[in-house]
Amino acid sequence: MLDSVEYQFFIGCADSHTHEYIITKNELKEMVANFFNKNNTDFSMLTAQGGYCHKDGWFITEDSLCINIIGASDIDIIRLATSLSMYMNQECSLIIRNNIKTTFSFPGENMDRKNHFEKGVKYEIFIGLKDKDSYSEILDVTDFKNILTQVCTNKQLSFSLLTQYGGYTHNKGYTTETSLRVIIIGVDEDEIHFLADLLKKKINTDAVLITKTEIEYSFM
């Protein structure tokens, strides 16, 4: 395994002034794909639902994209963040940098740009939608988004939400289900436990997983 760096780039799709969608997610995906094609950079991209506190004091929820890049140089991701933020007329975008181990190798490039990043903590809450009594998905993703949005709006917690598919073993065997991953950065840990407990009760699920990762991040 080789030491490498993973970058996660979060950007909202709504205009920061009008709060309307001036470009569709598919159009943004195509733009990002063209950028990486020109730079011969491997990437993956997830559609998310996010929320943040606007500088005017409003709490905004919007569609967002999470772009994952492994092994690229700082200047690539910074250029991408800057150009996309300007094109999308975003108030800001978020970059997270993680040190990872990988079996892939990339051309050696200068990655010593630490002045762009601050140290922080990323929390992730993993929760499945199956009810622990009926083992069926009584609530859907939209229901979960509405619950999460209401709580995070009241608490003024900036978040991103990723929809996934997961599986786990419970006391009746192994099951698969729709799984949600809530990503929150830079808040008090008690807030994370409060949110996880509340979501667990609302969904009535067996268990909720919380992960805590020390990261380096940058708002562009």
CA distance 165 to 178: 5
Q: 16 phi and psi, to 5 degrees?
A: -70, -20
pLDDT for the residue numbered 189: 92
2-116 to CATH, choices 3.20.20.70, 3.30.70.120, 3.10.50.40, 3.90.320.10? 3.30.70.120
Report the chain's mean pLDDT, rounded to a whole number. 79
Q: 156 phi and psi, to 5 degrees?
A: 60, 45
1 or 12: which leads in pLDDT: 12
Reduce the DSSP state of residue 142 to 3 states and report it.
Answer: helix
End-to-end, the C-alpha distance of the chain in Å comes to 31
pLDDT for the residue numbered 2: 65
pLDDT for the residue numbered 101: 64
Mean pLDDT of all residues in 209-218: 88
65 or 184: which leads in pLDDT: 184
At residue 35 the predicted structure's pLDDT band, cuts being 50, 70 and 90, is: confident
pTM, 2 dp = 0.59
List Cβ neighbours of 188 (8 Å cut-off, separation of 6 or more): none
Radius of gyration of the chain (CA): 18
Cite the DSSP H helix spans in the chain. 25-39, 74-88, 141-155, 189-203
**Per-residue pLDDT tens over the stretch 44-102:** 777 777 777 767 777 777 878 788 787 665 556 777 778 777 877 777 788 888 887 65
**For 119-219, CATH number?**
3.30.70.120
4 or 127: which leads in pLDDT: 127
pLDDT for the residue numbered 85: 79
List Cβ neighbours of 20 (8 Å cut-off, separation of 6 or more): 14
Mean pLDDT of all residues in 145-173: 86
What residue spans define the domains of the chain? 2-116, 119-219
Q: Same topology for domains 2-116 and 119-219, yes or no?
A: yes
Q: Using the predicted structure, report yes or no on whether residue 161 has a pLDDT greater than 70.
A: yes
Reduce the DSSP state of residue 110 to 3 states and report it.
Answer: coil
